[in-house]
Amino acid sequence: MTERFEAYAETPHTIRRVFYAGNLPAPPPLAYQVHFPRLEMVLDGQLLMEVGNNTGEDTQHLMTRGCALYIPAESWNKPVLTHPVETLSILIGKQSFGLSILKWNGENYETALKHNIMRRGPRTGTFIVQALEELSWHVQDQQTARLLVASLLSHISELTHSPPEAPSKSKALFEAVRGYLEQHYHEPLTRDSVAKHFYISSNYLSQLFAKEGKVKFNEYLNHIRLERAKYLLKEYDMKVKEVAHRCGFSDSNYFCRLFRAQTARSPSEYRTHYRSRVKAEATD
């Protein structure tokens, strides 16, 4: 069934249009919203898609064959099924891609493909996703968007046909812990609570991060939280204290100190600098 989307990887010009979603306003009932970026694509038929956006207004897109929708983490979409349609859904996790092809015959769903594809590392393919994220501010650049979507599909196709080698037990556990942190970073996590969740000792968890990640547990958790904070600062007008709490920091002053140590700017300065740069690029 992978040939259903591999053709788009080989011929980017057949990707008709790339839409984008946001998380405002709050998602309606039955909408999909997760902590990971996603890509939805219509392989056959048509689909009315309701999405959030950054202006706070509802938006609907009529997606026909070859149309794609990029949905950043925390953003939402809600398909409105009125006609038979076949769709490709890709969940972009840090350690794997969740791949599914669904068919709606007008009355029921049929799962044509459901597969989890391990990535070769969290960085492989990341720049494609980051570029798509940036293009959400430049929706008129459809040619670049088509090439990026085709590149992502090509990358996933290559992983499907040449999967990475199975990791060792310690590496597999490390990746599982990393995946857990990526999903639960906003919760009050500690080394002890995470170790307990995986039925291992706190000392072994520290050793695991030192061996497999070459980093301390708290450093890695703070890195995840700070990266998420950067995204929220760039995309939304939340107060710094709210950003800190949404990213798992109970002490906003501690958050600000960590943020400045990593970026050499306060959270407010970081937001102002980013938006000034985006505005300057848009007027060039």
> What is the tally of structural domains in the chain?
2
Element (H, E) at 56: none
Residue 282 counted as domain residue:
no
One domain, residues 211 and 247: yes
Q: Which of 161, 182, 202 is the last residue of a domain?
A: 161
Helix-helix angle 252-263:217-235, to 10 degrees = 90
Contacts of 196 (CB under 8 A, 6+ apart): none
Domain final position from 161, 185, 220: 161
Rounded CA-CA distance 67/42 in Å is 6
- For the segment 198-212, the average pLDDT, to the nearest whole number, is 94
pLDDT tens-digit map of 121-131: 656 678 898 89
Q: Is the pTM of the predicted complex or chain greater than 0.75? A: no
Q: What percent of the chain has pLDDT over 90?
A: 60
Q: Is the same domain home to 8 and 116? A: yes
In a domain, 283, yes or no: no
pLDDT tens for each residue of 57-75: 668 999 999 999 999 988 9
Same domain, 75 and 50: yes
For residue 99, is it within any domain? Answer: yes
Establish if 284 belongs to a structural domain. no
Asked if 147 and 202 sit in the same domain, the reply is: no
What local confidence, expressed as pLDDT, does residue 114 receive? 85
Burial class (CB in 10 A: 0-12, 13-18, 19+), 20: buried
User: What pLDDT score was predicted for residue 284?
Assistant: 63
Together in a domain, 194 and 251: yes
Residue at 210 is within a domain: yes
Domain that holds residue 127: 3-161
